[in-house]
Structure formats: structure tokens, C-alpha cells
């Protein structure tokens, strides 16, 4: 058998075709992403380059009246709204998710996992409009009847979001817990530690970066969620003074406003600027996840 051969064989062609196809797909993907980022960034920046609004007025201005005679584009209420519902949702969902993940992996790994796994996958698969609808017909009336305010508002938005990000945090945390070396737990048990001591002092601290990764991913989802929040938050363009007051988020303002503005108008550009803020925040979330993953490896 001759191993040195200048002839082109079948396996050479296969290899070549495969590599070309893969390279093409990757290039296409990169091109799409880069052009999307470029598009959003160029549209978003045009608000400031056209001289309509300054960056500080946009980020910290509290007055949003795009259709007035002297329009003002202060997005601060929406930025606060977005952060507020996101943080609240994470605060509500994180402990619940952690407990669910611990239940699945540590407390009752047998039927606990069999029962919870499909439930969590189901929760992740429900469309956001359904969440919003349930929020509108269950949570909002409940809040209206039991607490001050109209029911719609920050609290309702945060509650709906917390259910929506529950599966994200739970599944990331459960994966992290399940990947712990078995004998790490055992060496804690072997020292006479109880299950609770083992969970609180060994298991959680060891998987902490991964759990945080899950929380950040959940927050990223909450931050970007539009429809469900828009249905229950009330969409008032003000910085809310209480959790039971109507407010808006960046996403809800974009979805509500996009259809009613003309391309190139100051109002439309301002919406793009908000989209840019959302995108930058997503980058920040991704950056945090990377950072946590690197810490996780040590």
C-alpha cells in the first residue's frame, strides 16, 4: 500500500467539503451577529448624534413625552423599571430555585428528580404570553384585592418574571449540584457532619459560582422579557414610588412604541437607543457569566 500519494482520494474530498461547509456556517453566523450589533448600535447612537438628546438627558432624564411639541426623551423611568423588576424577580426566584435544585439532587434524588425535571422543563416551555395572561387574570386581581394600588405594577411584573426565570436558575443549579464529585459530600459525612451541615457548608459554597451563573442567566432573561411584563406592569412612564404602582420597562416601552413611530423620527431613534441599552446590558450579563465560569474552574 502506497501511503505517499498525490492523487485526490474520496476521503480528501469529504474532509474538504465538510470543512468548507462548517466554515461557511460559522462565517454566516458571525456576519449576522456583527451586522445586528452594528445595526442596533448605529440606530441607537443616532439619537445622540443627531443632536436631539444628550446621553445624560437620555439615561437620567425622568420625563418621557416623545409626542409633545417640545419632546423629551428621558429613559430613566424605564431603566429603573427594568432593573427593579429584574432584581426583585431574581430575589424571589433564587431561593426557590436553589431549594428545588437541592431537593432534586440531594434530598430526594430518585422521585424528586423524576417529578421536578419535567415540571421545570414544562415551565421553561410555556410561551410568555401565557405567563402574562395568567399574571393578568390571577396575580393582578389578587394584588388589587389584598394590597394597595391597582394590582398592575412593579410587584405584579416581578412575580410573573420570577416564575418565568425559575426554570433557568433551577436547571443550571441542579446541573452544578449533580456534577459535584460524590466523595466530596461523603468526606463531609465521614467527618460526622449532618446533611444540613453538608449542604450549607460544603455543597452550596462549592457550587456557588455555578449557582450565581444560573441567577445571572435568569436575570438576563428577566431583563429581556417584554410581553409578559408589559401585560401586567401598567406601562406608566414614571419612576415608581412604590412596588404597587404602575411602571414601565425598556422592553415594554419598545414593544408598545415600535409600531406607532416612523423610521428615522426622534421617537423611533430613542426606542433604538433603549434597544442599545438592553443589548449592552446583555453583554454585561454575559461578561459576568464568563467571569463566574472562570472562577468556577479554580
Binding stretches for another protein (CB under 8 A): 109-110, 181, 183-194, 197, 201-202, 205-206, 298
Nearer to another protein, 4 or 297 (CB): 297
Q: Tell me the HSE value of 175 on the side-chain side, using a 13 A CA sphere.
A: 11
> Residue 186 Cβ, how far from another protein at the closest point, in Å?
6
> Residue 105 Cβ, how far from another protein at the closest point, in Å?
13
CA-CA distance, 262 to 266, in Å (whole number)?
A: 9
> Residue 201 Cβ, how far from another protein at the closest point, in Å?
7
Nearer to another protein, 36 or 191 (CB): 191
> Residue 197 Cβ, how far from another protein at the closest point, in Å?
6
Nearer to another protein, 112 or 257 (CB): 112
CA-CA distance, 94 to 126, in Å (whole number)?
A: 20
Grid coordinates representing 94 are 433564587
User: Is residue 116 within 8 Å of residue 287, measured between CB atoms?
Assistant: no
Nearer to another protein, 109 or 141 (CB): 109
Nearer to another protein, 181 or 259 (CB): 181
Among residues 163, 164, 166, 174, the alpha carbon closest in space to that of 112 is found at 174
CA separation, residue 278 to residues 48, 49, 152 (Å): 17, 19, 23
Nearer to another protein, 80 or 188 (CB): 188
Residue listed under C-alpha cell 444628550:
54
Among residues 275, 255, 265, 282, the alpha carbon closest in space to that of 53 is found at 265
Query: If DSSP codes are grouped into helix, strand and coil, which group holds residue 93?
Result: helix
CA separation, residue 77 to residues 12, 224, 265 (Å): 60, 16, 21
Query: If DSSP codes are grouped into helix, strand and coil, which group holds residue 60?
Result: helix
> Residue 233 Cβ, how far from another protein at the closest point, in Å?
40
> Residue 216 Cβ, how far from another protein at the closest point, in Å?
20
> Residue 185 Cβ, how far from another protein at the closest point, in Å?
7
CA-CA distance, 272 to 75, in Å (whole number)?
A: 12
Length of the chain counted residue by residue: 298
Nearer to another protein, 123 or 178 (CB): 178
Amino acid at each position: 500500500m502506497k501511503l505517499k500519494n498525490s492523487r485526490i482520494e474520496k476521503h480528501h474530498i469529504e474532509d474538504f467539503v465538510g470543512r468548507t461547509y462548517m466554515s461557511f456556517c460559522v462565517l454566516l453566523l458571525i456576519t449576522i451577529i456583527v451586522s445586528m450589533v452594528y445595526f442596533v448600535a448605529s440606530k441607537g447612537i443616532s439619537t445622540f448624534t443627531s443632536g436631539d438628546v444628550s446621553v445624560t438627558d437620555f439615561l437620567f432624564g425622568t420625563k418621557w413625552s416623545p409626542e409633545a411639541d417640545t419632546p423629551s426623551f428621558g429613559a430613566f423611568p424605564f431603566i429603573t423599571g427594568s432593573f427593579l423588576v429584574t432584581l426583585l424577580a431574581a430575589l424571589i426566584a433564587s431561593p426557590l430555585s436553589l431549594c428545588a435544585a437541592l431537593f432534586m439532587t440531594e434530598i430526594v434524588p430518585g422521585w424528586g428528580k423524576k417529578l421536578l425535571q419535567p415540571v421545570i422543563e414544562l415551565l421553561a416551555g410555556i410561551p410568555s404570553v401565557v405567563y402574562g395572561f395568567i399574571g393578568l387574570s390571577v396575580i393582578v386581581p389578587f394584588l388589587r384585592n389584598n394590597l394597595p394600588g391597582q394590582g398592575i405594577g412593579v410587584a405584579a411584573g416581578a412575580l410573573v418574571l420570577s416564575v418565568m426565570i425559575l426554570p433557568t436558575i433551577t436547571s443550571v443549579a441542579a446541573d452544578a449540584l449533580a456534577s459535584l464529585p460524590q466523595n466530596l459530600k461523603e468526606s463531609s459525612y465521614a467527618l460526622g457532619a449532618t446533611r444540613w451541615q453538608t449542604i450549607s457548608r460544603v455543597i452550596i459554597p462549592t457550587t456557588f459560582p455555578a449557582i450565581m451563573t444560573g441567577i445571572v442567566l435568569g436575570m438576563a432573561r428577566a431583563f429581556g422579557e417584554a410581553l409578559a411584563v408589559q401585560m401586567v406592569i401598567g406601562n406608566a412612564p414614571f419612576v415608581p414610588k412604590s412596588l404597587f404602582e404602575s411602571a414601565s420597562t425598556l422592553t415594554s416601552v419598545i414593544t408598545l412604541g415600535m409600531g406607532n413611530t416612523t423610521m428615522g423620527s426622534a421617537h423611533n431613534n430613542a426606542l433604538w437607543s433603549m434597544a442599545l441599552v438592553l443589548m449592552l446590558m446583555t453583554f454585561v450579563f454575559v461578561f459576568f457569566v464568563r467571569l463566574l465560569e472562570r472562577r468556577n474552574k479554580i
